[in-house]
Amino acid sequence: KNEVEQSPQNLTAQEGEFITINCSYSVGISALHWLQQHPGGGIVSLFMLSSGKKKHGRLIATINIQEKHSSLHITASHPRDSAVYICAGTTSGGGADGLTFGKGTHLIIQP
């Protein structure tokens, strides 16, 4: 069974801090997605990674295929970054049968 584990479950930090959220996944998962869910409930796709590193603004996502581990980093964190961050895996074959989700990391950035 494909599995995705995230840590930490909850993270509170001060504005400006460097944030790291970790995700480990099982054999059979070929790509990792990082998603953001704001308190209003909507889900936004941030990154999709199968190798290396991607950057968008203050967000950086990395993946280590050998260790089956991915990280999401937020530089110069801001209260508007407060959200639930979810990693999710797709299986080999393009994830035709959908995503396997981690349980999410609830991030609070305090001013």
Partner 1 sequence: DADVTQTPRNRITKTGKRIMLECSQTKGHDRMYWYRQDPGLGLRLIYYSFDVKDINKGEISDGYSVSRQAQAKFSLSLESAIPNQTALYFCATQQGSGGYTFGSGTRLTVV
Our CB check for partner 1 shows the closer of 74 and 104 to be 104
With b for 16 or more beta-carbon neighbours within 10 A and e for fewer, the 59-91 pattern comes to bbbbbeeeebebbbbbeebeeebbbbbbbbbbb
CB 96, min distance to partner 1, A? 7
Which listed residue (90, 105, 107, 109) binds partner 1 by CB under 8 A?
90
CA distance 26 to 5: 9
Q: Tell me whether residue 20 or residue 30 sits nearer to partner 1 (CB atom).
A: 30
CB of 92 to partner 1, least distance (A): 10
**Residue 28: DSSP 8-state:** T
The residues binding partner 1 (CB under 8 A) are 31, 33, 35, 40-45, 48, 86, 88, 90, 93-99, 101-104
